[in-house]
Chains A and B, each alone.
Chain A
Amino acid sequence: MRVRFWGVRGSLPVPGAKTERYGGNTSCVEVRSAAGTRVVVDAGTGIRKLGKELAGEGEAGRARVHLLISHTHWDHIQGLPYFAPLYQRGNKMTVYARKRDDLHLQAVFASQTHDPYFPVPFAEADAAIEFTELTDAAKFSIDDVKVACARLNHPYIATAYRLTVDGASVVYVSDTAPFSDILFEDEFVARPPSPGAELPAKDRQKLARMREGVVRLCEGADLVIYDTMFTPEDYQRIPHYGHSRPMDAVDICGEAGATRLALFHHAPERTDAEVDAILAETRATAARSSRKLDVVAAYEGLEVELGKG
Protein backbone atom coordinates (compact mmCIF):
# COMPACT_ATOMS: atom_id res chain seq x y z
CA MET A 1 0.00 0.00 0.00
CA ARG A 2 0.99 3.58 -0.54
CA VAL A 3 0.51 6.28 2.11
CA ARG A 4 0.63 9.92 0.99
CA PHE A 5 0.55 13.00 3.21
CA TRP A 6 -1.43 15.93 1.77
CA GLY A 7 -1.74 18.02 4.94
CA VAL A 8 0.22 17.62 8.20
CA ARG A 9 -0.67 20.75 10.17
CA GLY A 10 -3.02 21.18 13.15
CA SER A 11 -5.50 23.94 14.12
CA LEU A 12 -5.46 26.03 10.98
CA PRO A 13 -3.55 26.32 7.71
CA VAL A 14 -0.36 28.37 7.99
CA PRO A 15 0.99 29.67 4.69
CA GLY A 16 4.38 31.36 4.66
CA ALA A 17 8.09 30.94 4.24
CA LYS A 18 8.59 29.43 7.71
CA THR A 19 6.39 26.40 6.98
CA GLU A 20 7.40 25.89 3.37
CA ARG A 21 9.26 22.59 3.82
CA TYR A 22 6.87 20.67 6.10
CA GLY A 23 3.82 22.38 4.64
CA GLY A 24 1.04 24.57 5.97
CA ASN A 25 -2.08 22.60 5.00
CA THR A 26 -4.25 20.95 7.62
CA SER A 27 -4.68 17.20 8.13
CA CYS A 28 -5.21 14.85 5.21
CA VAL A 29 -3.63 11.44 4.54
CA GLU A 30 -4.36 9.17 1.58
CA VAL A 31 -3.95 5.39 1.66
CA ARG A 32 -4.13 3.46 -1.58
CA SER A 33 -4.02 -0.31 -1.84
CA ALA A 34 -2.19 -2.14 -4.60
CA ALA A 35 -5.61 -3.03 -6.05
CA GLY A 36 -6.49 0.66 -6.21
CA THR A 37 -8.85 1.13 -3.24
CA ARG A 38 -8.57 4.73 -2.09
CA VAL A 39 -9.11 5.59 1.57
CA VAL A 40 -8.55 9.16 2.71
CA VAL A 41 -8.24 10.01 6.38
CA ASP A 42 -9.46 13.52 7.27
CA ALA A 43 -10.33 16.41 4.99
CA GLY A 44 -8.23 19.36 6.13
CA THR A 45 -7.10 21.84 3.47
CA GLY A 46 -4.58 19.29 2.17
CA ILE A 47 -7.43 17.42 0.46
CA ARG A 48 -7.76 20.20 -2.11
CA LYS A 49 -4.58 19.15 -3.91
CA LEU A 50 -5.55 15.48 -3.82
CA GLY A 51 -8.86 16.51 -5.39
CA LYS A 52 -7.09 18.32 -8.22
CA GLU A 53 -5.02 15.24 -8.90
CA LEU A 54 -8.11 13.01 -8.96
CA ALA A 55 -9.99 15.38 -11.23
CA GLY A 56 -7.15 15.31 -13.70
CA GLU A 57 -6.02 11.70 -13.34
CA GLY A 58 -8.41 10.12 -15.77
CA GLU A 59 -10.66 9.24 -12.86
CA ALA A 60 -13.03 12.16 -13.43
CA GLY A 61 -16.58 10.84 -13.27
CA ARG A 62 -15.58 7.46 -11.86
CA ALA A 63 -13.56 8.33 -8.78
CA ARG A 64 -14.42 6.30 -5.69
CA VAL A 65 -13.30 7.83 -2.41
CA HIS A 66 -13.76 6.50 1.11
CA LEU A 67 -13.26 9.30 3.59
CA LEU A 68 -12.61 8.44 7.23
CA ILE A 69 -13.04 11.42 9.56
CA SER A 70 -11.20 11.34 12.92
CA HIS A 71 -13.48 14.10 14.25
CA THR A 72 -15.19 17.12 12.78
CA HIS A 73 -13.10 19.99 14.19
CA TRP A 74 -12.40 22.47 11.39
CA ASP A 75 -8.81 21.46 10.68
CA HIS A 76 -10.05 17.96 9.82
CA ILE A 77 -12.94 18.91 7.52
CA GLN A 78 -12.34 22.44 6.20
CA GLY A 79 -10.92 21.31 2.87
CA LEU A 80 -13.91 19.21 1.86
CA PRO A 81 -15.93 21.97 0.14
CA TYR A 82 -12.85 22.48 -2.09
CA PHE A 83 -12.50 18.80 -3.03
CA ALA A 84 -13.04 18.94 -6.80
CA PRO A 85 -14.37 15.33 -7.23
CA LEU A 86 -17.49 16.36 -5.27
CA TYR A 87 -18.54 18.46 -8.23
CA GLN A 88 -18.23 15.78 -10.92
CA ARG A 89 -21.20 13.60 -11.74
CA GLY A 90 -20.44 9.89 -11.54
CA ASN A 91 -17.98 10.15 -8.66
CA LYS A 92 -18.87 8.44 -5.40
CA MET A 93 -17.79 9.27 -1.89
CA THR A 94 -18.58 7.60 1.41
CA VAL A 95 -17.89 9.56 4.59
CA TYR A 96 -17.31 7.62 7.81
CA ALA A 97 -17.14 9.05 11.32
CA ARG A 98 -18.14 8.29 14.87
CA LYS A 99 -21.85 8.38 15.64
CA ARG A 100 -22.87 11.18 17.95
CA ASP A 101 -25.88 11.46 20.23
CA ASP A 102 -26.75 15.01 19.30
CA LEU A 103 -26.20 15.39 15.57
CA HIS A 104 -26.27 13.15 12.55
CA LEU A 105 -23.00 13.14 10.63
CA GLN A 106 -24.79 14.36 7.52
CA ALA A 107 -26.06 17.42 9.42
CA VAL A 108 -22.53 18.33 10.49
CA PHE A 109 -21.38 18.40 6.87
CA ALA A 110 -24.57 19.96 5.54
CA SER A 111 -24.20 23.02 7.75
CA GLN A 112 -20.55 23.43 6.68
CA THR A 113 -21.72 24.24 3.17
CA HIS A 114 -24.99 25.93 4.13
CA ASP A 115 -25.78 29.57 3.42
CA PRO A 116 -24.20 31.94 4.58
CA TYR A 117 -20.92 30.01 4.98
CA PHE A 118 -20.46 28.53 1.51
CA PRO A 119 -22.06 29.12 -1.87
CA VAL A 120 -22.70 25.50 -2.91
CA PRO A 121 -24.76 23.39 -0.50
CA PHE A 122 -23.67 19.78 -0.04
CA ALA A 123 -27.03 18.62 -1.38
CA GLU A 124 -26.16 20.19 -4.75
CA ALA A 125 -22.81 18.45 -5.10
CA ASP A 126 -22.81 16.33 -8.26
CA ALA A 127 -21.07 13.29 -6.79
CA ALA A 128 -23.06 10.64 -4.93
CA ILE A 129 -22.29 11.07 -1.23
CA GLU A 130 -23.16 8.62 1.53
CA PHE A 131 -22.61 8.84 5.26
CA THR A 132 -21.78 5.94 7.54
CA GLU A 133 -21.76 6.43 11.30
CA LEU A 134 -19.38 4.31 13.36
CA THR A 135 -19.24 2.97 16.89
CA ASP A 136 -16.09 3.50 19.01
CA ALA A 137 -14.58 0.07 18.35
CA ALA A 138 -16.04 -0.57 14.89
CA LYS A 139 -14.42 -3.09 12.53
CA PHE A 140 -15.37 -3.21 8.87
CA SER A 141 -13.99 -3.64 5.37
CA ILE A 142 -13.68 -1.22 2.49
CA ASP A 143 -13.13 -3.55 -0.46
CA ASP A 144 -9.69 -5.10 0.22
CA VAL A 145 -8.88 -2.75 3.13
CA LYS A 146 -9.69 -3.85 6.68
CA VAL A 147 -10.52 -0.99 9.04
CA ALA A 148 -10.47 -1.04 12.86
CA CYS A 149 -11.28 1.88 15.17
CA ALA A 150 -10.45 3.02 18.70
CA ARG A 151 -11.67 5.96 20.75
CA LEU A 152 -9.27 8.85 21.46
CA ASN A 153 -8.95 11.36 24.29
CA HIS A 154 -9.89 14.68 22.71
CA PRO A 155 -12.51 17.37 23.34
CA TYR A 156 -15.79 16.16 21.81
CA ILE A 157 -14.08 12.77 21.16
CA ALA A 158 -12.03 11.60 18.17
CA THR A 159 -11.46 8.23 16.47
CA ALA A 160 -8.21 6.44 15.57
CA TYR A 161 -8.16 4.19 12.48
CA ARG A 162 -6.06 1.16 11.58
CA LEU A 163 -6.00 0.26 7.90
CA THR A 164 -4.71 -3.17 6.90
CA VAL A 165 -4.12 -4.27 3.31
CA ASP A 166 -1.37 -5.78 1.14
CA GLY A 167 0.17 -7.42 4.21
CA ALA A 168 0.79 -4.14 6.04
CA SER A 169 -0.93 -1.86 8.55
CA VAL A 170 -0.99 1.89 9.03
CA VAL A 171 -2.60 3.52 12.08
CA TYR A 172 -3.82 7.13 12.23
CA VAL A 173 -3.95 8.51 15.78
CA SER A 174 -5.04 12.17 15.65
CA ASP A 175 -6.18 14.10 17.62
CA THR A 176 -5.54 12.89 21.14
CA ALA A 177 -4.22 13.99 24.50
CA PRO A 178 -2.18 11.54 26.57
CA PHE A 179 -4.34 9.25 28.68
CA SER A 180 -3.35 10.58 32.07
CA ASP A 181 -4.42 13.99 33.32
CA ILE A 182 -7.82 14.82 31.79
CA LEU A 183 -10.64 12.66 30.49
CA PHE A 184 -12.18 14.49 27.55
CA GLU A 185 -15.83 13.98 26.74
CA ASP A 186 -18.34 16.50 25.38
CA GLU A 187 -17.83 19.26 27.94
CA PHE A 188 -15.75 22.37 27.48
CA VAL A 189 -12.66 22.23 29.70
CA ALA A 190 -12.01 25.85 30.62
CA ARG A 191 -8.64 25.58 32.36
CA PRO A 192 -5.82 23.13 33.00
CA PRO A 193 -6.17 20.76 35.97
CA SER A 194 -4.30 21.94 39.04
CA PRO A 195 -0.88 20.27 39.26
CA GLY A 196 -0.90 16.99 41.11
CA ALA A 197 -4.71 16.76 41.20
CA GLU A 198 -5.91 13.14 41.35
CA LEU A 199 -8.48 12.04 38.81
CA PRO A 200 -11.56 10.20 40.07
CA ALA A 201 -11.01 6.40 39.90
CA LYS A 202 -13.75 6.06 37.28
CA ASP A 203 -11.99 8.50 34.94
CA ARG A 204 -8.61 6.87 35.52
CA GLN A 205 -10.01 3.46 34.62
CA LYS A 206 -11.70 4.81 31.51
CA LEU A 207 -8.46 6.46 30.37
CA ALA A 208 -6.47 3.28 31.05
CA ARG A 209 -8.93 1.29 28.93
CA MET A 210 -8.76 3.91 26.18
CA ARG A 211 -4.98 3.79 26.18
CA GLU A 212 -5.03 0.01 26.06
CA GLY A 213 -7.35 0.24 23.04
CA VAL A 214 -4.91 2.53 21.24
CA VAL A 215 -1.91 0.30 22.04
CA ARG A 216 -3.83 -2.71 20.69
CA LEU A 217 -4.79 -0.79 17.56
CA CYS A 218 -1.10 0.02 16.95
CA GLU A 219 0.06 -3.59 17.66
CA GLY A 220 2.85 -4.46 15.22
CA ALA A 221 1.88 -1.64 12.85
CA ASP A 222 4.23 -0.79 9.99
CA LEU A 223 3.48 2.91 10.38
CA VAL A 224 1.83 4.91 13.16
CA ILE A 225 0.80 8.50 12.35
CA TYR A 226 0.42 10.31 15.69
CA ASP A 227 -0.76 13.72 16.89
CA THR A 228 2.43 15.21 18.38
CA MET A 229 1.37 18.83 18.24
CA PHE A 230 2.68 19.66 21.71
CA THR A 231 6.15 20.11 23.11
CA PRO A 232 6.49 19.10 26.78
CA GLU A 233 6.30 22.84 27.64
CA ASP A 234 3.05 23.25 25.68
CA TYR A 235 1.60 20.31 27.55
CA GLN A 236 2.50 21.82 30.93
CA ARG A 237 0.77 25.03 29.96
CA ILE A 238 -2.32 23.89 28.02
CA PRO A 239 -2.96 20.18 28.62
CA HIS A 240 -6.69 20.88 28.33
CA TYR A 241 -6.37 21.56 24.58
CA GLY A 242 -6.15 17.82 24.00
CA HIS A 243 -2.90 17.04 22.14
CA SER A 244 0.14 14.78 22.72
CA ARG A 245 3.92 15.12 22.81
CA PRO A 246 6.38 13.07 20.73
CA MET A 247 7.34 11.08 23.84
CA ASP A 248 3.72 9.93 24.24
CA ALA A 249 3.78 8.58 20.70
CA VAL A 250 7.16 6.88 21.23
CA ASP A 251 5.82 5.16 24.36
CA ILE A 252 2.68 3.89 22.62
CA CYS A 253 4.69 2.67 19.60
CA GLY A 254 7.19 0.96 21.91
CA GLU A 255 4.50 -0.92 23.80
CA ALA A 256 2.70 -1.85 20.58
CA GLY A 257 5.86 -2.99 18.83
CA ALA A 258 5.22 -0.66 15.90
CA THR A 259 8.20 -0.17 13.61
CA ARG A 260 7.69 3.35 12.22
CA LEU A 261 6.31 6.56 13.63
CA ALA A 262 5.29 9.71 11.74
CA LEU A 263 5.07 12.84 13.89
CA PHE A 264 1.93 14.59 12.69
CA HIS A 265 -0.46 17.52 13.23
CA HIS A 266 2.34 20.04 13.74
CA ALA A 267 1.39 23.16 15.69
CA PRO A 268 0.65 26.19 13.49
CA GLU A 269 3.43 28.21 15.14
CA ARG A 270 6.06 25.48 14.60
CA THR A 271 8.66 26.61 12.04
CA ASP A 272 10.43 24.16 9.76
CA ALA A 273 13.61 24.49 11.84
CA GLU A 274 11.67 23.70 15.01
CA VAL A 275 10.13 20.59 13.47
CA ASP A 276 13.65 19.54 12.42
CA ALA A 277 14.80 19.92 16.04
CA ILE A 278 11.83 18.01 17.45
CA LEU A 279 12.48 15.21 14.97
CA ALA A 280 16.16 14.97 15.94
CA GLU A 281 15.28 14.89 19.62
CA THR A 282 12.57 12.27 19.13
CA ARG A 283 14.95 10.09 17.10
CA ALA A 284 17.45 10.29 19.94
CA THR A 285 14.78 9.30 22.45
CA ALA A 286 13.63 6.41 20.26
CA ALA A 287 17.24 5.20 19.81
CA ARG A 288 17.61 4.81 23.59
CA SER A 289 14.74 2.32 23.81
CA SER A 290 15.35 -1.40 23.31
CA ARG A 291 12.99 -1.69 20.33
CA LYS A 292 13.82 -0.32 16.95
CA LEU A 293 11.57 2.59 15.94
CA ASP A 294 12.10 4.67 12.78
CA VAL A 295 10.81 8.20 13.23
CA VAL A 296 9.91 10.72 10.54
CA ALA A 297 8.26 14.13 10.85
CA ALA A 298 5.43 14.05 8.34
CA TYR A 299 5.65 16.64 5.58
CA GLU A 300 3.37 17.56 2.73
CA GLY A 301 4.19 15.32 -0.20
CA LEU A 302 5.75 12.50 1.86
CA GLU A 303 5.01 9.08 0.36
CA VAL A 304 5.56 5.79 2.17
CA GLU A 305 5.25 2.35 0.58
CA LEU A 306 4.33 -0.44 2.98
CA GLY A 307 3.95 -4.21 2.67
CA LYS A 308 4.30 -6.33 -0.41
CA GLY A 309 5.01 -4.24 -3.48
Chain B
Amino acid sequence: MGGFGDPPGVPIMKIGFWGVRGSIPAPGPATVRYGGNTACVSLRPDAAGKDGRLIILDCGTGARNLGIGLMEGAFGKGGGEASILLSHAHWDHIQGFPFFVPLYQPGNKFHIFGGAKSSAMLEGILEGQMAPQYFPVQTLKNMGATIDIVAIAEGKTFEVERCQVRARMNPHGRAGALAFRIEEGGRTVVYASDAGYAAGGPPADSIELYRGADVLIHDSTYTPEDKKRYADRGYSSVEDAVAAAIAAQVKRLVLFHYDQDYADADVDALCARGRRLLDERGGRDIELIGAVEGSTLDV
Protein backbone atom coordinates (compact mmCIF):
# COMPACT_ATOMS: atom_id res chain seq x y z
CA MET B 1 0.00 0.00 0.00
CA GLY B 2 3.03 2.29 -0.13
CA GLY B 3 3.55 4.71 2.74
CA PHE B 4 6.55 4.51 5.02
CA GLY B 5 7.67 0.95 4.31
CA ASP B 6 8.58 -1.69 6.85
CA PRO B 7 9.72 -0.77 10.35
CA PRO B 8 13.42 -1.54 10.88
CA GLY B 9 14.22 -5.01 12.16
CA VAL B 10 10.79 -6.48 11.46
CA PRO B 11 11.14 -8.82 8.52
CA ILE B 12 7.98 -9.46 6.56
CA MET B 13 7.06 -12.50 4.53
CA LYS B 14 5.29 -11.89 1.25
CA ILE B 15 2.76 -14.29 -0.22
CA GLY B 16 1.84 -14.09 -3.93
CA PHE B 17 -1.25 -15.76 -5.39
CA TRP B 18 -0.75 -16.93 -9.00
CA GLY B 19 -3.50 -19.50 -9.31
CA VAL B 20 -6.43 -19.89 -6.90
CA ARG B 21 -8.75 -22.22 -8.80
CA GLY B 22 -9.31 -25.95 -8.33
CA SER B 23 -9.50 -28.91 -10.71
CA ILE B 24 -9.11 -27.29 -14.12
CA PRO B 25 -8.36 -23.76 -15.35
CA ALA B 26 -11.55 -21.79 -15.90
CA PRO B 27 -10.98 -19.04 -18.48
CA GLY B 28 -13.76 -16.65 -19.44
CA PRO B 29 -15.46 -13.40 -18.47
CA ALA B 30 -17.11 -14.98 -15.41
CA THR B 31 -13.81 -15.62 -13.59
CA VAL B 32 -11.79 -12.52 -14.52
CA ARG B 33 -11.83 -10.96 -11.03
CA TYR B 34 -10.73 -13.91 -8.86
CA GLY B 35 -8.85 -15.59 -11.71
CA GLY B 36 -9.11 -18.90 -13.53
CA ASN B 37 -5.62 -20.39 -13.14
CA THR B 38 -5.06 -23.48 -11.02
CA ALA B 39 -3.16 -23.63 -7.73
CA CYS B 40 0.15 -21.81 -7.38
CA VAL B 41 1.33 -19.64 -4.47
CA SER B 42 4.73 -18.01 -3.95
CA LEU B 43 6.27 -17.21 -0.61
CA ARG B 44 9.19 -14.84 -0.07
CA PRO B 45 10.49 -15.30 3.48
CA ASP B 46 12.05 -11.86 3.08
CA ALA B 47 9.38 -9.65 1.57
CA ALA B 48 11.74 -7.28 -0.14
CA GLY B 49 13.18 -10.30 -1.95
CA LYS B 50 16.66 -8.97 -1.24
CA ASP B 51 18.10 -12.34 -0.29
CA GLY B 52 16.34 -13.99 -3.22
CA ARG B 53 14.82 -16.83 -1.21
CA LEU B 54 11.68 -18.19 -2.82
CA ILE B 55 9.28 -21.00 -1.96
CA ILE B 56 6.65 -22.06 -4.48
CA LEU B 57 3.58 -23.94 -3.27
CA ASP B 58 2.16 -26.12 -6.04
CA CYS B 59 2.56 -25.70 -9.76
CA GLY B 60 -0.89 -25.35 -11.32
CA THR B 61 -1.25 -23.17 -14.44
CA GLY B 62 -0.69 -20.06 -12.31
CA ALA B 63 3.00 -21.01 -12.28
CA ARG B 64 3.29 -19.75 -15.85
CA ASN B 65 2.71 -16.12 -14.88
CA LEU B 66 4.94 -16.45 -11.82
CA GLY B 67 7.72 -17.78 -14.06
CA ILE B 68 7.37 -15.00 -16.61
CA GLY B 69 7.82 -12.41 -13.85
CA LEU B 70 10.79 -14.22 -12.32
CA MET B 71 12.66 -14.15 -15.63
CA GLU B 72 13.07 -10.40 -15.21
CA GLY B 73 15.38 -11.03 -12.24
CA ALA B 74 18.13 -13.52 -11.39
CA PHE B 75 16.22 -16.43 -12.97
CA GLY B 76 16.50 -14.77 -16.37
CA LYS B 77 20.28 -14.86 -16.09
CA GLY B 78 20.57 -18.41 -14.80
CA GLY B 79 21.31 -17.30 -11.26
CA GLY B 80 18.01 -18.07 -9.57
CA GLU B 81 17.29 -20.69 -6.94
CA ALA B 82 13.95 -21.75 -5.47
CA SER B 83 12.20 -24.57 -3.66
CA ILE B 84 8.93 -26.04 -4.87
CA LEU B 85 6.62 -27.78 -2.39
CA LEU B 86 4.01 -30.01 -4.03
CA SER B 87 0.90 -30.89 -2.02
CA HIS B 88 0.08 -33.79 -4.37
CA ALA B 89 0.25 -34.64 -8.05
CA HIS B 90 -3.32 -34.15 -9.26
CA TRP B 91 -3.16 -32.22 -12.55
CA ASP B 92 -4.29 -28.89 -11.16
CA HIS B 93 -1.25 -28.87 -8.86
CA ILE B 94 1.43 -29.78 -11.41
CA GLN B 95 0.13 -28.84 -14.87
CA GLY B 96 1.88 -25.47 -14.90
CA PHE B 97 5.27 -27.11 -14.27
CA PRO B 98 6.14 -27.70 -17.97
CA PHE B 99 5.29 -24.03 -18.64
CA PHE B 100 7.35 -22.56 -15.79
CA VAL B 101 9.99 -20.80 -17.90
CA PRO B 102 12.79 -20.51 -15.29
CA LEU B 103 13.12 -24.31 -15.50
CA TYR B 104 14.47 -23.88 -19.04
CA GLN B 105 17.28 -21.51 -18.09
CA PRO B 106 20.58 -23.37 -17.50
CA GLY B 107 22.16 -22.31 -14.23
CA ASN B 108 18.90 -21.97 -12.29
CA LYS B 109 18.49 -24.41 -9.39
CA PHE B 110 15.26 -25.95 -8.15
CA HIS B 111 14.63 -28.17 -5.16
CA ILE B 112 11.35 -30.03 -5.41
CA PHE B 113 9.67 -31.58 -2.37
CA GLY B 114 6.57 -33.72 -2.47
CA GLY B 115 4.79 -36.72 -1.07
CA ALA B 116 5.82 -40.11 -2.46
CA LYS B 117 7.24 -43.35 -1.13
CA SER B 118 10.66 -42.43 -2.51
CA SER B 119 12.39 -39.57 -4.27
CA ALA B 120 12.75 -41.74 -7.36
CA MET B 121 8.99 -42.26 -7.40
CA LEU B 122 8.34 -38.54 -7.13
CA GLU B 123 10.73 -37.96 -10.01
CA GLY B 124 8.86 -40.63 -11.98
CA ILE B 125 5.57 -38.82 -11.37
CA LEU B 126 6.99 -35.56 -12.73
CA GLU B 127 8.65 -37.36 -15.64
CA GLY B 128 5.28 -38.91 -16.47
CA GLN B 129 3.93 -35.46 -17.26
CA MET B 130 6.88 -34.63 -19.52
CA ALA B 131 6.79 -37.90 -21.49
CA PRO B 132 6.95 -37.53 -25.30
CA GLN B 133 3.35 -38.60 -25.93
CA TYR B 134 2.23 -35.65 -23.78
CA PHE B 135 4.83 -32.91 -24.06
CA PRO B 136 7.46 -32.12 -26.68
CA VAL B 137 10.30 -31.59 -24.22
CA GLN B 138 10.06 -35.33 -23.39
CA THR B 139 11.95 -35.37 -20.06
CA LEU B 140 12.96 -33.16 -17.13
CA LYS B 141 16.54 -33.65 -18.30
CA ASN B 142 15.87 -31.56 -21.41
CA MET B 143 14.63 -28.58 -19.38
CA GLY B 144 18.01 -26.98 -18.66
CA ALA B 145 17.85 -25.98 -15.00
CA THR B 146 19.36 -28.14 -12.25
CA ILE B 147 16.52 -29.96 -10.53
CA ASP B 148 16.72 -32.13 -7.44
CA ILE B 149 13.73 -34.01 -6.16
CA VAL B 150 13.14 -35.12 -2.59
CA ALA B 151 10.29 -37.15 -1.13
CA ILE B 152 9.07 -35.75 2.18
CA ALA B 153 8.68 -37.74 5.36
CA GLU B 154 5.38 -36.76 6.92
CA GLY B 155 5.52 -35.15 10.35
CA LYS B 156 9.28 -34.48 10.38
CA THR B 157 10.51 -30.91 10.33
CA PHE B 158 12.90 -30.10 7.53
CA GLU B 159 14.54 -26.95 6.23
CA VAL B 160 13.53 -25.23 3.01
CA GLU B 161 15.08 -21.89 2.06
CA ARG B 162 16.20 -21.56 5.69
CA CYS B 163 12.58 -21.85 6.87
CA GLN B 164 11.32 -24.66 9.11
CA VAL B 165 8.75 -26.74 7.25
CA ARG B 166 6.49 -29.48 8.56
CA ALA B 167 4.10 -31.47 6.37
CA ARG B 168 1.06 -33.55 7.14
CA MET B 169 -1.06 -35.66 4.84
CA ASN B 170 -4.68 -34.52 4.81
CA PRO B 171 -7.33 -36.87 3.47
CA HIS B 172 -8.30 -36.00 -0.11
CA GLY B 173 -10.79 -38.39 -1.67
CA ARG B 174 -9.06 -41.67 -2.39
CA ALA B 175 -5.68 -40.00 -2.16
CA GLY B 176 -4.09 -37.56 0.24
CA ALA B 177 -2.64 -34.09 -0.07
CA LEU B 178 0.18 -32.65 2.02
CA ALA B 179 -0.47 -29.53 4.06
CA PHE B 180 2.63 -27.45 4.81
CA ARG B 181 3.47 -25.35 7.85
CA ILE B 182 6.26 -22.89 7.05
CA GLU B 183 7.92 -20.94 9.86
CA GLU B 184 10.67 -18.42 10.17
CA GLY B 185 11.45 -15.82 12.82
CA GLY B 186 8.14 -16.28 14.60
CA ARG B 187 5.99 -15.91 11.50
CA THR B 188 3.96 -18.85 10.27
CA VAL B 189 2.19 -19.55 7.00
CA VAL B 190 0.17 -22.73 6.50
CA TYR B 191 -0.90 -24.03 3.09
CA ALA B 192 -3.68 -26.62 3.22
CA SER B 193 -5.19 -27.14 -0.20
CA ASP B 194 -7.36 -30.11 -1.17
CA ALA B 195 -8.44 -31.15 2.31
CA GLY B 196 -11.38 -33.56 2.36
CA TYR B 197 -11.98 -34.10 6.05
CA ALA B 198 -14.30 -36.83 7.33
CA ALA B 199 -17.75 -35.82 8.56
CA GLY B 200 -16.47 -34.64 11.95
CA GLY B 201 -14.38 -31.87 10.35
CA PRO B 202 -10.64 -31.31 10.58
CA PRO B 203 -8.89 -33.94 12.77
CA ALA B 204 -6.75 -33.01 15.77
CA ASP B 205 -3.39 -33.45 14.03
CA SER B 206 -4.43 -31.15 11.16
CA ILE B 207 -5.44 -28.53 13.71
CA GLU B 208 -2.11 -29.01 15.44
CA LEU B 209 -0.31 -28.28 12.16
CA TYR B 210 -2.38 -25.13 11.57
CA ARG B 211 -2.20 -23.94 15.21
CA GLY B 212 -1.74 -20.20 15.68
CA ALA B 213 -0.69 -19.52 12.09
CA ASP B 214 -0.48 -15.91 10.97
CA VAL B 215 -1.99 -17.00 7.68
CA LEU B 216 -3.88 -20.21 6.90
CA ILE B 217 -4.43 -20.73 3.17
CA HIS B 218 -7.18 -23.32 3.17
CA ASP B 219 -9.13 -25.31 0.62
CA SER B 220 -12.57 -23.76 0.24
CA THR B 221 -13.74 -25.41 -2.95
CA TYR B 222 -17.44 -25.54 -2.16
CA THR B 223 -20.42 -24.06 -0.43
CA PRO B 224 -21.69 -26.41 2.31
CA GLU B 225 -24.51 -27.46 -0.05
CA ASP B 226 -22.18 -28.36 -2.94
CA LYS B 227 -19.88 -30.19 -0.54
CA LYS B 228 -22.79 -32.47 0.41
CA ARG B 229 -23.46 -33.13 -3.27
CA TYR B 230 -19.82 -33.90 -4.09
CA ALA B 231 -18.62 -35.26 -0.74
CA ASP B 232 -16.66 -38.11 -2.35
CA ARG B 233 -14.40 -35.70 -4.25
CA GLY B 234 -12.44 -34.91 -1.10
CA TYR B 235 -12.60 -31.12 -0.86
CA SER B 236 -13.46 -28.66 1.88
CA SER B 237 -16.42 -26.36 2.03
CA VAL B 238 -16.07 -22.81 3.32
CA GLU B 239 -17.59 -24.20 6.52
CA ASP B 240 -14.70 -26.68 6.91
CA ALA B 241 -12.19 -23.88 6.32
CA VAL B 242 -13.88 -21.76 9.00
CA ALA B 243 -13.95 -24.69 11.44
CA ALA B 244 -10.21 -25.28 10.89
CA ALA B 245 -9.38 -21.60 11.35
CA ILE B 246 -11.37 -21.29 14.59
CA ALA B 247 -10.11 -24.54 16.11
CA ALA B 248 -6.49 -23.68 15.26
CA GLN B 249 -6.91 -20.04 16.37
CA VAL B 250 -5.20 -18.64 13.29
CA LYS B 251 -4.99 -14.89 12.68
CA ARG B 252 -5.98 -14.81 9.04
CA LEU B 253 -7.88 -17.31 6.88
CA VAL B 254 -7.42 -17.22 3.11
CA LEU B 255 -10.07 -19.07 1.10
CA PHE B 256 -8.49 -20.94 -1.82
CA HIS B 257 -9.04 -23.50 -4.61
CA TYR B 258 -12.50 -22.39 -5.76
CA ASP B 259 -14.62 -24.74 -7.86
CA GLN B 260 -14.11 -24.27 -11.60
CA ASP B 261 -17.78 -23.47 -12.14
CA TYR B 262 -17.98 -20.69 -9.54
CA ALA B 263 -18.30 -17.28 -11.20
CA ASP B 264 -16.89 -14.19 -9.48
CA ALA B 265 -20.27 -13.43 -7.91
CA ASP B 266 -20.41 -16.97 -6.49
CA VAL B 267 -16.97 -16.52 -4.92
CA ASP B 268 -18.09 -13.15 -3.48
CA ALA B 269 -21.00 -14.99 -1.87
CA LEU B 270 -18.68 -17.77 -0.64
CA CYS B 271 -16.47 -15.18 1.08
CA ALA B 272 -19.46 -13.41 2.63
CA ARG B 273 -20.69 -16.77 3.89
CA GLY B 274 -17.27 -17.46 5.40
CA ARG B 275 -17.28 -14.11 7.18
CA ARG B 276 -20.74 -14.76 8.58
CA LEU B 277 -19.80 -18.24 9.77
CA LEU B 278 -16.66 -16.91 11.47
CA ASP B 279 -18.69 -14.26 13.29
CA GLU B 280 -21.37 -16.72 14.38
CA ARG B 281 -19.00 -19.42 15.57
CA GLY B 282 -16.49 -17.54 17.68
CA GLY B 283 -14.03 -16.43 15.02
CA ARG B 284 -14.86 -12.75 15.03
CA ASP B 285 -11.18 -11.83 15.44
CA ILE B 286 -10.05 -13.89 12.47
CA GLU B 287 -9.58 -11.91 9.30
CA LEU B 288 -11.00 -13.56 6.18
CA ILE B 289 -9.60 -13.06 2.70
CA GLY B 290 -10.70 -14.62 -0.56
CA ALA B 291 -7.57 -15.39 -2.57
CA VAL B 292 -7.36 -13.33 -5.76
CA GLU B 293 -5.04 -14.26 -8.63
CA GLY B 294 -2.30 -11.64 -9.02
CA SER B 295 -2.60 -10.32 -5.45
CA THR B 296 -0.04 -10.35 -2.63
CA LEU B 297 -0.31 -10.56 1.13
CA ASP B 298 2.25 -9.43 3.71
CA VAL B 299 2.75 -11.48 6.88
Contact = CB atoms under 8 A, between A and B. Distances in A.
Contacts of B35: 15-16
Contact of B27 (A15, A72, A74, A78): A15
A25 B28 CA distance: 8
A16 B29 contact: no
B192 interface: no
Contact of A20 (B23, B28, B96, B137): B28
Given A13-B27, A82-B23, A117 B91 contact: yes
Contacts of A300: 28
Contact of A156 (B98, B129, B136, B139): B136
A78 B36 contact: no
Contacts of B223: none
Interface residues of A, number: 42
Contacts of B36: 13, 15-16, 24
B128 A242 contact: no
Given A12-B96, A16-B35, A268-B64, A24 B91 contact: no
Q: Chain B contact residues: over half helix, strand or loop, or mixed?
A: loop
Contact of B132 (A111, A115, A118, A188): A188
A85 interface: no
Contacts of B233: 119
Given A24-B36, A103-B133, A19 B95 contact: no
Interface string B31-51: 110011100000000000000
B27 A108 contact: no
B64 A20 contact: no
B234 A119 contact: yes
B295 interface: no
B135 interface: yes
Interface in A33-62: 45, 48
Contact of B133 (A14, A100, A119): A100
A16 B96 contact: no
A14 B32 contact: no
Nearest to A156: B132
A268 B64 CA distance: 10
A91 B176 CA distance: 31
Nearest to A77: B134
Interface in B29-87: 29, 31-32, 35-37, 61, 64
Given A117-B90, A119-B173, A155-B136, A45 B128 contact: no
4 nearest A-B residue pairs (beta carbon): A15-B36, A24-B27, A15-B27, A13-B25
Interface of B: 21, 23-29, 31-32, 35-37, 61, 64, 88-91, 94-96, 98-99, 125, 128-129, 132-139, 142, 173-175, 233-234, 260, 293
